[in-house]
A and B are shown apart, each in its own frame.
Chain A
Amino acid sequence: MTQTTTEIISTKMNPNVIPHLHIWEWHIPLYLFLGGLAGGLLVITAVMIVIKRHFGIGPRDEGEGCPCLAVRVGSALAPILLGIGMLFLFLDLANKFYVWAFYTTIQPTSPMSAGSWILIAFFPMAILQAMLVNKQFLRNMNIGIVNKLIDWTENRLTLVALLNAHIGIGIGIYTGILLSFFYARPLWSSSILGMLFLISGISSAAALMLLFAPNHEKPIYSKIDANALWIEMVVVGLFILGGITGPANTSGAMMHLIAGDYQMAGMSYMLWFWGGFVALGLLIPMFLEFLEAVGVHIRFPLVAPVLVLMGGLLLRFLIVFAGQTYHTFM
């Protein structure tokens, strides 16, 4: 028998607030995933361009300063994926007719306001990079304005890429900051969340590029991915440690995630986290890519990148959901 008990009766009944927050469903995790992926793609492609043009390192140039295929496709995918992500973000808005309100003000303390402007800044630069790296393809289409734009900017690709590397990092971190500013939700209230989402975005982006890169380009992305996963492991470890060693709010929230029996799609958070994310999304692909690097070729080379992508998606779902189902800051 317990020594003392607390009985609380409350008349509170607001849907999606009681018994716990349930304001964000699949839209937001998917948006965060696609945002992270777009950010990661931008970072990788930009860095590839810069190191190739500046240091001469990297995959074979395919003529006239057009980087390798993976960079070209990756650059084009970045704004597309972010656009899809933003569509989900829009779908999540409860008052869609007022979406314009984001762009009639700057709220300096609101990460979401900052984010809505960053997203706007992302597109011109990302699209410019996509155009410049695909200029041969575009020139063939011979669209007047496009040609002019390419003529005007093609000599500045390095600069564009350099800027994009920063924007990509910004977007990646932003997807985490978006949540970590909510100190009312103890799981999210961790400044390492920005780094975690950034690195997870990079590992996912590398995995994605690994999927469509031609065989001769694959080893590069496999290495990037393996390294990103390794860093991600460390960041996840820090995230967990920072949580469980924190005060009651933080440690409770972390335990809710890593040892919680709360169900998501019929399975407990604990199983999803350790089995789904850590084992399948991090450890196994890292191991597979390590094998690949030391020259042991496996029969299904696509397994590792697909697992990484699923792990990245799962991480967003877990964080978004477990952050809501745990109680508010006490």
Chain B
Amino acid sequence: MADKKNYGMVIDTRVCVACSACVYACKSENSVPEGYCRDWVVQETNGTFPKLSMENRSERCQHCAKAPCVIYCPTGASHYSEDGTVQINRYRCTGCKACLAACPYDARYVHPKGFADKCSLCKHRLDKGLETACASVCPTTSLNLVDFNDPEEKALKMMNGKEVYRQKKHAGTNPSLYWISARNKPGA
């Protein structure tokens, strides 16, 4: 198909309040087993009283374009999907856990049933043209599902002129999650 997708996320930490709605939505959407999570929220505070700053963010698999998990997977269970996401075929996964060790983001876990598991960027929803469960529930619209091949360049417009970073970019994984820093001034 000519209009190949390349999904990722733009996460606006300016508005995120670390409410964890994304975590619960993911858990019920994807039947994530009790005690496990595919996404999680982090509230980071820096400084000393009374000079403090805070960033809240919702984290998950980064769907790297150069994913160490895929590189290391001995069976091809972890693979790149044609839509730019990283997926796991649980019917080829031996549970060797190499991908867990390979991931610089610690985004994976071993499902109690034995296979490696992680955020799928709600592939089953993407395939139906829906947003991810986390993005669709997010009350602050901090989580934005984007298609980097989108001719309208929604992602670029969202990030333009703002301080944007990618986590552990220097790890060379080319992650598909972009973060609008909380340090941006309101309305930046």
Contacts and interface: CB of A to CB of B under 8 A. Distances in A.
A17 interface: yes
A139 to B, nearest CB: 40
Interface in B34-80: 35-37, 40-48, 59, 68, 71-77
A142 interface: no
A215 interface: no
Give the interface centre of B48, B96, B102, B110 by most chain A CB atoms within 10 Å.
B96
B109 A16 contact: yes
B126 to A, nearest CB: 23
Nearest to A23: B97
B95 to A, nearest CB: 3
Given A107-B74, A110-B72, A14 B109 contact: yes
A159 B37 CA distance: 54
B14 interface: no
Contacts of B59: 12
Interface string A83-114: 00000000011111111011011010111110
Contacts of A66: none
A185 interface: yes
A93 B92 CA distance: 13
A3 to B, nearest CB: 7
Given A5-B48, A182-B101, A99 B94 contact: yes
Interface string A1-36: 111111111111111111001011000000000000
A182 B75 contact: no
B93 interface: yes
B153 interface: no
A93 B106 CA distance: 19
A92 B96 CA distance: 7
Nearest to B43: A9
Nearest to B68: A184
Given A94-B110, A95-B115, A183-B171, A112 B72 contact: yes
Contacts of A115: 74
Nearest to A10: B42
A330 interface: yes
B114 interface: yes
Interface residues of B, number: 49
B75 A105 contact: yes
B74 A14 contact: no
A181 interface: yes
B110 A16 contact: yes
Given A21-B101, A94-B95, A328-B104, A3 B48 contact: yes
B105 interface: yes
B20 A11 contact: yes
28 contacts: A2-B48, A4-B48, A9-B44, A10-B40, A12-B106, A13-B36, A13-B37, A15-B35, A16-B109, A18-B106, A23-B97, A93-B94, A93-B96, A94-B94, A94-B116, A95-B90, A95-B93, A98-B92, A98-B115, A109-B72, A110-B74, A115-B74, A181-B72, A182-B102, A183-B171, A184-B101, A184-B104, A329-B168
Interface of B: 18, 20, 23, 35-37, 40-48, 59, 68, 71-77, 90-98, 100-106, 108-110, 113-116, 168, 171
Nearest 3 CB-CB pairings of A with B: A94-B95, A95-B95, A95-B114
Given A15-B109, A23-B110, A184-B101, 12 more contacts: A2-B48, A10-B42, A11-B23, A16-B109, A21-B100, A21-B101, A93-B114, A95-B94, A102-B75, A183-B104, A328-B105, A329-B171
